[in-house]
Amino acid sequence: MTVTIMKRLGMLTLAVMLVFSGTGCQANKSSKSNNKPKAQSVQKKTAIDPATKKITDEVMKVKGVSKATVLVHNPDVLIGIDVKEGEHTATVEDHVRYKVESRKPGYFVHVTSNKKLHQKIKKLSTKMSGKKPGQAEGNEVGVIILDIGKETRTPFR
């Protein structure tokens, strides 16, 4: 009987030591940081798709692009750009399209420098960030793609 009590007491002591050793490390870490609250940026709170980030970085490297918004909705990539003053808009759009298509084959790339369409892409991108797109968002992507297509054909009418 004394052996079972000793075994139980030993197990209890071991369990208590494990609990205290695990929490002791946490207490030491927080005391070193002086318990100061850390600043967090809003951008870190929203999940950014790695493909979107890579494409945005590539677009920003194109000469003549001052701002860019990228929305990836497989297999489509919507890109809204602001073109620097003095640059030829159609040329910059073509360079963006070519660069993304060559770096990310398999995507259908849609580029616009139209301010209204760029704003639509920004709104939809914000709406979709951090969550899986649903049917409604998919429809909005389709509408923007059609609008970009209409904008492209307009000069030829």
- Could you tell me the end-to-end alpha-carbon distance of the chain, in angstroms, rounded to an integer? 99
pLDDT band at 88 (very low <50, low <70, confident <90, very high): very high
pTM score of the predicted model: 0.65
Task: Say what the pLDDT of residue 61 is.
Answer: 95
More confident residue, 104 or 157: 104
pLDDT bracket for residue 133 (50, 70, 90): low
Query: What is the strand order of the sheet 76-83 is part of?
Result: 65-73, 76-83, 108-112
Helix axes 50-60, 89-103, angle to 10 degrees: 140
pLDDT of residue 137: 73
| Model confidence at 10: pLDDT above 60 | yes
Question: How confident is the model over 14-69, as pLDDT tens digits?
Answer: 666 656 665 554 444 444 444 443 333 233 334 567 888 999 999 999 999 999 99
Q: Which residue has the higher pLDDT, 49 or 144?
A: 144
Model pLDDT, residue 45: 37
CB neighbour list of residue 119: distance below 8 Å, 6 or more residues apart = 80
